[in-house]
């Protein structure tokens, strides 16, 4: 059924005979294919109930600001198909592995975030709300922690965990509210050598964008689940961001640590779920890196309560 819908969409746009090559996907049900046509194109296949129109709307908003999100050539929002401009294969992670200058690429990504912080986020984006954070934090308890303990967490320590986070939430929001691309990391960023300035940064996988605190995407970039960023380079890039945004440093660094801990906990829960529920065991290989990121964030004095809770509950959280 899905293949018939996919073929129909391609036929409607004169691409029924195009060669199709699958591209590597992500942790979702989305799939991508590269099409041989008069111009390079990508077919994005997003089965409902996920709303493919969100990606198209965000791409349009990013392009309207002069950023290099892929152009949407054609769409079928009801059935979940988009034809996208093909921005190429020069993904940061791949370029760095081949010897490209890592610091220059990461500096380009941070310059983009600096530029993004200067503009108000699109009104249609949902908020990175306290309720959202609490729901995402629960993934850690429901999957990673339950797996570690061998049973669900009891009600009393879970209530302590939630109380700790409710106390952290107000300190999470340092700086202006900005557009968060959310999955802003080395495998979702491209270098476009025919474009200048921040336009040289190609953007992928932003359909989960929200509006919220600016430290989030910087954490996503520098605390990557898939590759290591050295501490000296990460520190230099954080300073570069602070110097060029004017956000008060102490508040931003606390926000960075809180958001880093939240993101690490969320990802630990998701990776455990992907392995245990969906059989995607390759994500288990990335868990040690996320544990390391979590410990680094918990070293901030503002997270002492969370660090102690994790140490008492499962003996983790210290670097």
The answer to the question of residue 256 being in a domain is yes
pLDDT at residue 319 tops 60 = no
Of the pLDDT bands very low, low, confident and very high (cuts 50, 70, 90), residue 315 is confident
Q: Please tell me whether residues 122 and 227 are part of one structural domain.
A: yes
Q: What is the pLDDT of residue 177?
A: 96
Q: What is the pLDDT of residue 237?
A: 98
Name the pairing type of β-strands 178-180 and 72-76. Answer: unpaired
What 3-state DSSP class applies to 203? strand
Q: Please tell me whether residues 193 and 67 are part of one structural domain.
A: no
Q: What is the pLDDT of residue 67?
A: 98
The answer to the question of residue 225 being in a domain is yes
The answer to the question of residue 319 being in a domain is no
Q: Using the 3D structure, point to which of 56, 85, 114 is the last residue of a domain.
A: 85
Please name the residue ranges forming H helices in the chain.
2-12, 52-64, 92-97, 102-117, 130-139, 146-149, 155-168, 215-222, 231-245, 249-276, 287-298, 304-314
Number of folded domains in the chain?
2
- List Cβ neighbours of 304 (8 Å cut-off, separation of 6 or more): none
What 3-state DSSP class applies to 293? helix
Q: Please tell me whether residues 207 and 307 are part of one structural domain.
A: yes
pLDDT digits 0-9 by tens, 172-225: 999 999 999 999 999 999 999 999 999 999 999 999 999 999 999 999 999 999
The answer to the question of residue 136 being in a domain is yes
Q: Specify the pTM.
A: 0.93
Q: Please tell me whether residues 115 and 259 are part of one structural domain.
A: yes
The answer to the question of residue 140 being in a domain is yes
Q: Please tell me whether residues 127 and 158 are part of one structural domain.
A: yes
pLDDT digits 0-9 by tens, 139-181: 999 999 999 999 999 999 999 999 999 999 999 999 999 999 9
Is the peptide bond prior to 49 cis by the omega test (within 30 degrees of 0)?
Answer: yes
Q: Please tell me whether residues 107 and 249 are part of one structural domain.
A: yes
Q: Please tell me whether residues 302 and 174 are part of one structural domain.
A: yes
pLDDT at residue 240 tops 60 = yes
Strand order in the sheet with 31-35: 20-23, 31-35, 41-45, 81-85, 72-76
The answer to whether 269 and 292 have CB atoms below 8 angstroms apart is: no
pLDDT at residue 75 tops 70 = yes
Q: What is the C-alpha to C-alpha distance for residues 280 and 170, in angstroms, rounded to an integer?
A: 35
What 3-state DSSP class applies to 211? strand
Q: What is the pLDDT of residue 37?
A: 78
Q: Please tell me whether residues 176 and 300 are part of one structural domain.
A: yes
The answer to the question of residue 110 being in a domain is yes
The answer to whether 139 and 222 have CB atoms below 8 angstroms apart is: no
The answer to whether 233 and 101 have CB atoms below 8 angstroms apart is: no
pLDDT digits 0-9 by tens, 266-278: 999 999 999 999 9
Q: What is the pLDDT of residue 317?
A: 65
Q: Please tell me whether residues 80 and 96 are part of one structural domain.
A: no
The answer to whether 108 and 201 have CB atoms below 8 angstroms apart is: yes
The answer to the question of residue 245 being in a domain is yes
Ramachandran region, residue 75 (left: φ > 0; alpha: ψ -120 to 50; beta: rest): beta
Q: Please tell me whether residues 101 and 36 are part of one structural domain.
A: no
Q: Please tell me whether residues 236 and 104 are part of one structural domain.
A: yes
Q: Using the 3D structure, point to which of 85, 102, 118 is the last residue of a domain.
A: 85
Q: What is the CATH number of the domain that holds 62?
A: 3.30.200.20
The domain in which residue 69 lies consists of: 2-85
The answer to the question of residue 171 being in a domain is yes
Q: Please tell me whether residues 74 and 114 are part of one structural domain.
A: no
CA angle 65, 69, 72 (to 5 degrees): 105
What 3-state DSSP class applies to 186? coil
Q: What is the C-alpha to C-alpha distance for residues 275 and 263, in angstroms, rounded to an integer?
A: 18
Alpha-carbon radius of gyration of the chain: 20
- List Cβ neighbours of 233 (8 Å cut-off, separation of 6 or more): 102, 103, 106
pLDDT at residue 29 tops 90 = no
Q: What is the pLDDT of residue 24?
A: 72
Question: What backbone torsions phi and psi does residue 203 show, to the nearest 5 degrees?
Answer: -115, 135
Q: What is the CATH number of the domain that holds 111?
A: 3.90.1200.10
Q: What is the C-alpha to C-alpha distance for residues 45 and 9, in angstroms, rounded to an integer?
A: 10
């Amino acid at each position: 059924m899905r293949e018939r819908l996919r073929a129909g969409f391609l036929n409607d746009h004169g691409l029924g005979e195009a060669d199709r090559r699958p591209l590597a996907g992500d942790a979702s049900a989305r799939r991508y294919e590269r099409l041989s046509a008069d111009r390079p194109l990508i077919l994005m296949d997003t089965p409902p109930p996920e709303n493919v129109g969100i990606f198209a709307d965000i791409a349009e908003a990013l392009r309207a600001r002069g950023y290099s999100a892929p152009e949407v050539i054609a769409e079928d929002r009801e059935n979940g198909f988009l034809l996208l401009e093909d921005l190429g294969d020069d993904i940061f992670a791949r370029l760095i592995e081949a010897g490209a200058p890592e610091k220059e690429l990461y500096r380009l990504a941070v310059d983009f975030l600096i530029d993004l912080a200067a503009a108000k986020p699109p009104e249609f984006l949902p908020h990175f709300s306290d309720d959202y954070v609490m729901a995402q934090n629960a993934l850690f308890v429901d999957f990673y922690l339950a797996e570690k303990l061998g049973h669900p967490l009891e009600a009393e320590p879970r209530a302590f965990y939630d109380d700790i986070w409710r106390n952290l939430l107000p300190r999470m929001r340092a700086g202006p509210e900005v557009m968060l691309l959310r999955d802003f990391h080395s495998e979702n960023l491209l270098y476009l050598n025919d474009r200048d300035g921040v336009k040289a940064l190609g953007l992928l996988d932003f359909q989960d964008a929200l509006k919220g605190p600016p430290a989030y995407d910087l954490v996503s970039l520098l605390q990557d689940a898939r590759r290591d960023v050295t501490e000296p380079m990460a520190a230099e890039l954080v300073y570069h961001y602070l110097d060029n945004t004017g956000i008060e440093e102490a508040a931003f660094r606390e926000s960075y640590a809180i958001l880093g801990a939240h993101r690490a906990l969320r990802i630990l829960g998701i990776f455990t779920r992907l392995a245990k529920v969906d059989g995607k065991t390759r994500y288990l290989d990335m868990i040690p890196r996320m544990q390391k990121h979590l410990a680094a964030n918990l070293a901030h004095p503002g997270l002492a309560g969370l660090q102690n809770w994790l140490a008492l509950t499962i003996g983790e959280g210290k670097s």
